[in-house]
């Protein structure tokens, strides 16, 4: 069971493209394409960088939550089209 402090720390953690790629197994190009197409949680623009929230409790905003929810919207990628 997670403590309140752990949940808060996870919700504040931001990760870069390299970590998103490692966690998801997707290439950087695919991550950018999914981000631009709204298929995955949208990254946060911080200066010239983009970071993603690790966990928010919502698959629309947290990468780990999105993965645990079986990557909502990913099914549409395989309906008649190649990735």
pLDDT tens per residue across span 28-62: 999 999 999 999 999 999 999 999 999 999 999 99
Q: What average pLDDT does range 7-29 have in this prediction?
A: 87
Order of strands, edge to edge, in the sheet holding 14-15?
A: 14-15, 49-53, 44-46
pLDDT at res. 70:
87
Bridging pattern class, strands 49-53 and 14-15: antiparallel
Domain boundaries, the chain: 4-78
Q: What's the 3-state SS for 9-74?
A: HHHHCEECHHHHHHHHCCCHHHHHHHHHHCCCCCCEEECCEEEEECCCCCCCCEHHHHHHCCCCCH
pLDDT at res. 8:
59
pLDDT tens per residue across span 70-80: 887 765 544 44
């Amino acid at each position: 069971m997670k403590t309140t402090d752990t949940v808060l720390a996870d919700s504040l953690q931001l990760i870069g493209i390299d970590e998103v790629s490692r966690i998801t197994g997707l290439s950087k190009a695919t991550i950018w394409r999914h981000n631009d197409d709204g298929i995955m949680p949208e990254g946060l623009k911080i200066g010239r960088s983009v970071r993603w929230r690790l966990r928010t409790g919502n698959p629309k905003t947290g990468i780990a939550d999105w993965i645990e929810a079986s990557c909502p919207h990913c099914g549409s990628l395989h309906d008649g089209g190649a990735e």
